[in-house]
Structure 1
Amino acid sequence: MFSEYTSPDSSPSSLRSQLASKTIEDGGIIKVVTLGDRSAGKTALIIRFIENNFRVATPPTIGATFLSKSSLVPPASSIHVKFQVWDTSGDDRFSSMAPLYFGTADVVLVVYDVTDRNSFKCVDRWVKMIRSSSSGSESKQVVIVGTKVDLSSNREVTQKEGNEYAFRMGYPHYETSARTGENVHDMFDDIASVE
């Protein structure tokens, strides 16, 4: 679920209401794009959601990879949605291509590794890229996602720091673990749930 320190604009109901304008109906599609630095855990996060599996080693993404999953929303309902998830490369040489992927996205996950302070510092660069895009960034839901929380002894970014940054930007914040599955499905359930 959402981290404890959230603003009124980054509550689960706010996330749902912002997506509600998309009128997600049975058979609807939600396009999700991941952004973040290299080795932030984007691919592992997506594989955990799509396959409910953790791979110890994943090769770096070149350009972008597309995966999809149909899901009930909320899990006890009879409404199906299809997530189209784009896993983009965090490599600098591909960053200029990112707007091509998030330009038509419903949701952009800006991902950082809680064990790598530099990846957290670069979140602001990704957020600025989204905000400066002429692709209707105001209609996109942006979610700040910390990964690798299972590696708590190696943590360099506190949950409070992630919460405070997301609060300042007006975005929801999740801390997740692809290894254990912590908060991964909850986050996607919240993305898909509408009131």
Structure 2
Amino acid sequence: MPTIKLVVIGASGVGKTSLRGKYISGRFSTGYRATIGADFITKTVPHPRNPDESVTLQIWDTAGQERFSSLSSAFFRGADAALLIFDVTSPESMHALKKWWNDFKDKAPVEDGDVHEYCCVVVGNKMD
């Protein structure tokens, strides 16, 4: 079964872990516990192009604190897609996405010529 590696990135406290938890378990956690380094969880999902097949979606939740940035190259390497998350109530977290995207491109690595073909989704979170 093929595996798709999705990394979830953004500033600390934007809701990366909560969003991932909601997708995996259907439950939303309102408590806050900072991710240390990175954590991943897998889910088997239907193949996007062939409904008779499945793929393993490996969702990597990365720490948003600057002190863990040195670890990001290990977590970003081999990623097939990126989910960039910001907090809609925090303009700073939205402006920081450019830094996160550039950091991801440098460490994944995504070749400049391939950037326009790379799967990247930006999500505004905390719009309750």
Partners of 1:146 and 1:72 in 2: CA distance = 25
Does the 8 Å contact 2:3/2:58 carry over to 1?
yes
Name the one with the larger strand percent: 2
Residue 82 of structure 1: SS of its match in structure 2? Answer: strand
1:100 maps onto 2:74 in alignment: yes
1:36 maps onto 2:24 in alignment: no
Partners of 1:131 and 1:64 in 2: CA distance = 18
Does the 8 Å contact 1:110/1:123 carry over to 2?
yes
Does the 8 Å contact 1:35/1:98 carry over to 2?
no
Paired residues in the alignment total 123
Normalised to the residue count of structure 2, the TM-score between the two structures is 0.86
Residue 143 (structure 1) aligns with: 121
Residue 54 (structure 2) aligns with: 80
More displaced 10-residue stretch of structure 1: 86-95 or 136-145: 136-145
Name the one with the larger helix percent: 1
Structure 1 residues 72 and 135: alpha-carbon distance in aligned structure 2, compared to 1, 3 A threshold: same
1:121 maps onto 2:95 in alignment: yes
Which AA in structure 1 matches 2:53? Answer: I
Structure whose alpha-carbon radius of gyration is higher: 1
Identity %: 33
Does the 8 Å contact 2:78/2:108 carry over to 1?
no
Mapping of 1:176-187 within 5 angstroms? none
Residue 48 (structure 1) aligns with: 22
Which AA in structure 2 matches 1:143? Answer: V
Residue 85 of structure 1: SS of its match in structure 2? Answer: strand
Deviation at 1:142, TM superposition (A): 1.9
Normalised to the residue count of structure 1, the TM-score between the two structures is 0.58
Which AA in structure 1 matches 2:126? Answer: K
More displaced 10-residue stretch of structure 1: 86-95 or 127-136: 127-136
